[in-house]
Amino acid sequence: MTKDNTGNTATCGFTVTVEAKYCRPWATVRHGWDVCDPSVDMLVRTLCTFGCFPGYILNGSNTTICEAQDRWSVSSLPTCVPRTCNRLVPGKNNTTIDCTDENKFQSACQYTCSYGFDILPGEARVRKCDAHGNWSGNETVCRDILFQECTLSAAKPGACPPYKCTTRRDRWIRN
């Protein structure tokens, strides 16, 4: 209430209206994360930072700001793309290499050998692309399991014709 010099009184009031400016929120970054500061409310001047989980690489800007026009400073949000390993090439005597997702992160590739060849016990038949872009294990090699040269050291003592080397590993049979 106010009073003037002549003693008249009057009541006055006013209303303050605050309209907050927001940017539209977005969908979650697949295989990644975002952190916004100062608020998750996406108010003007909010800065958001993006990143990817292990095994993925950020494609696009790693930050965006909610600008005064109620829109983000980047036209499109970043994506997280899988890291890749070098392409596996079938070695000698490999029939096929079948992969679950080409040469991308977490892809598992199974080796199949040609007839008469196999992977020796203890060697990996499946290799997996890891988060650092490396294949697990060593290069897989298909080895000849049917036709092997018999060496003199493989011959049985006293063995003489009519013995010969068979098609199976280091065995001698009688003709």
- Quick: pLDDT tens for 68-92: 877 899 989 899 999 999 999 887 7
Residue 152 main-chain phi, psi, to 5 deg:
-60, -35
Question: With pLDDT > 90 as the criterion, what percentage of the chain qualifies?
Answer: 42
Examine residue 161 and state whether it is found in any structural domain, yes or no. Answer: yes
Rounded to 10 degrees, what is the CA torsion of 117, 118, 123, 128?
Answer: 100
pLDDT of residue 157: 55
Question: Is residue 159 in some structural domain?
Answer: yes
**pTM flag (> 0.75):** no
pLDDT score, position 8: 84
Asked whether residue 124 falls in the same domain as residue 108, the answer is yes
User: What distances in angstroms separate CA 49 from CA 55, 61, 67, 118, one per listed residue?
Assistant: 19, 9, 15, 50
Instruction: Please count the structural domains in the chain.
Output: 3
Is 9 a member of any domain? no
Residue type, 28: T
* 39 and 77 within one domain: yes
CATH classification at residue 121: 2.10.70.10
Residues 149-174: pLDDT tens digits? Answer: 545 445 555 544 444 454 444 444 44
Indicate whether 47 belongs to any domain.
Answer: yes
Q: Which residues, given as ranges, of the chain have pLDDT below 70?
A: 94, 147-175
Q: What is the pLDDT of residue 167?
A: 47
What's the 3-state SS for 119-140? CCCCCCCEEEECCCCCECCCCC
What pLDDT, on the 0 to 100 scale, is given for residue 19?
79
Domain that holds residue 66: 32-82
* Together in a domain, 36 and 77: yes
